[in-house]
Amino acid sequence: MSEELEARIREILNNGTVRYNPHLKTRMAERNYEMGDVLYILRNDKVLKFKKQGNDKYHCEIHGEDLEGYRGAVCDCH
């Protein structure tokens, strides 16, 4: 299932948009991320945790490395 979620996330990145909302802005500041770090993790790393929330929505945690090679994560993808 995680492979399917990764494929769907990458499809959204290629054909859709990432919503920049207040929660994302706060979490990026806490982690010292730029949008490039977020997009890099979403494109290149692995879904390690996920939970179905109904109606084809999932809470996901994608773990890997940011642009500078530090361990990082992006969470709460739908």
DSSP string for 40-64: HHHHHSEEEEEEEEETTEEEEEEEE
pLDDT in tens, 6-55: 888 888 888 877 777 888 889 899 989 999 998 899 888 888 888 888 77
Q: Rounded to whole angstroms, how far apart are CA atoms 17 and 53?
A: 21
Give yes or no for residue 67 having a pLDDT over 60: yes
Write down the pLDDT at residue 78: 53
Write down the pLDDT at residue 77: 60
Write down the pLDDT at residue 68: 92
Average pLDDT score over residue span 46-67: 84
**Which carries the bigger pLDDT value, residue 10 or residue 77?**
10
Q: List the chain domain ranges.
A: 2-75
